[in-house]
Chains A and B, each alone.
Chain A
Amino acid sequence: QSALTQPASVSGSPGQSITISCTGTSSDVGGYNYVSWYQHHPDKAPKLMIYDVSKRPSGISNRFSGSKSGNTASLTISGLQAEDEADYYCASYTSSSTWVFGGGTKLTVL
């Protein structure tokens, strides 16, 4: 159960788009369409932004989108806003019927 690989940090200016990658293996990301993305502000509960690779829960802005190619999933945030600044985590179902998170990416809005 090695953690999925995410960049430690990404940044962008308001209005711009950024993409966070999440790389796993064929036993997790590449093997199932069960990749989720979470937004986490300090001292708050994580918030689901994307599930099943590209689906948005009710109430989540369409500025957030997800995709997957092979063993790498991606979260794209368009029209960056100051309130998007947070830590973002991907998670995937695995062949062991367990779940694994990525190491997390700190998004800075410049």
Chain B
Amino acid sequence: EVQLVESGGGLVKPGGSLRLSCAASGITFSIYSMNWVRQAPGKGLEWVSSISSSSNHIYYADSLKGRFTISRDNAKNSLYLQMNSLRAEDTAVYYCARDPWSSSSYWGQGTLVTVSS
């Protein structure tokens, strides 16, 4: 059974940092591109970042302005999102997703990040 389990969310103060993780099981993690997508309270889905299977191609939403870094460890079947200089507007549920735009799309259940003083 395919499983993507996000962790690392929580409450952080503005300006702080947080590292999200996504543990994959039941799939050959190393052959898939992975993405982070977020949803702020009461708002729509927003694409955050993507990373290719071998980490050769990495892209970010313009709105992040270099504050977030995506990475992966294929040996550990894990995806990461390092978030720095967090702002209130980064408050959201963060989903990791395998190839979300293809027939092999699969999403985790999400982890909540709250940025508040």
Given the complex of chains A and B, what is the CA–CA distance between A96 and B47 in angstroms?
Answer: 13
Chain B: interface residue total (CB-CB under 8 A): 24
Known: A55-B103, A98-B61, A99-B50. A89 touches B45 (CB 8 A): yes
17 new A-B contacts at CB < 8 Å, known A46-B37, A48-B105, A91-B101? A1-B61, A1-B62, A36-B101, A45-B95, A46-B97, A48-B100, A51-B101, A52-B102, A89-B44, A96-B59, A98-B47, A98-B61, A98-B62, A99-B35, A99-B47, A99-B101, A104-B45
The total of interchain contacts (Cβ-Cβ below 8 angstroms) comes to 68
Task: Name the CB-closest residue of A to B104.
Answer: A57
Chain A residues numbered 67-110 whose CB sits less than 8 Å from any CB in chain B: 87, 89, 91, 93, 96-104
How far is the CB of A32 from the nearest CB of chain B, in Å? Answer: 11
Binding site for A on B (CB under 8 A): 35, 37, 44-47, 50, 57, 59-63, 95, 97, 100-103, 105, 107-110
Task: Name the CB-closest residue of B to A34.
Answer: B101
Contacts of B101 in A (CB 8 A): 34, 36, 48, 51, 91, 93, 99
Contacts of A38 in B (CB 8 A): 45
Can you show 18 pairs from A to B with CB atoms below 8 A apart? A1-B61, A1-B62, A44-B109, A45-B109, A46-B45, A46-B95, A57-B103, A57-B105, A87-B44, A89-B44, A91-B45, A91-B100, A93-B101, A96-B59, A98-B47, A99-B101, A101-B46, A102-B44
Contacts of A46 in B (CB 8 A): 37, 45, 95, 97, 100, 107
